[in-house]
């Protein structure tokens, strides 16, 4: 019995099943193909929530009290001051005539 004949026989049997059983059969066949393609490693399901929502929830859960204690009035000026401090500290390395 050839491969094509087996497939046709299986299809003929499948088409005789009631609609609900045919759907379950299709789900099982697809799952078996998915299993074969992934080499037995289950395919990860799509996450229930968007990654951005997860990130927002994580940020909301972080303890930001140390940042608030810095009393930063203007974040842009604070970053500029940090850069000036680093530049002055590293100036000897960058501009050393040696």
Say if 27 falls within a structural domain: yes
Say if 22 falls within a structural domain: yes
Say if 82 falls within a structural domain: no
Say if 10 falls within a structural domain: yes
Report field, pTM of the whole predicted structure over 0.85: no
Distance CA 8, CA 18 (A): 18
Sign of CA dihedral 47, 53, 56, 61: negative
Overall number of domains in the chain: 1
Determine the pLDDT at residue 76: 93
- Per-residue pLDDT tens over the stretch 7-59: 888 888 888 988 888 888 888 888 888 877 877 666 566 668 888 898 999 98
Expressed as residue numbers, the domain containing 12 is: 3-38
Say if 25 falls within a structural domain: yes
Say if 76 falls within a structural domain: no
Say if 46 falls within a structural domain: no
């Amino acid at each position: 019995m050839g491969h094509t004949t087996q497939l046709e026989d299986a299809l003929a049997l499948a088409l005789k099943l009631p609609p609900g059983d045919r759907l379950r059969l299709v789900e099982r066949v697809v799952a078996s193909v998915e299993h074969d393609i992934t080499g037995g490693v289950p395919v990860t399901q799509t996450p229930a929530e968007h990654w951005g929502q997860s990130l927002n929830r994580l940020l909301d859960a972080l303890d930001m009290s140390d940042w608030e204690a810095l009393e930063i009035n203007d974040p842009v000026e604070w970053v500029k001051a940090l850069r000036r401090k680093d530049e002055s500290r590293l100036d000897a390395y960058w501009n050393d005539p040696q």
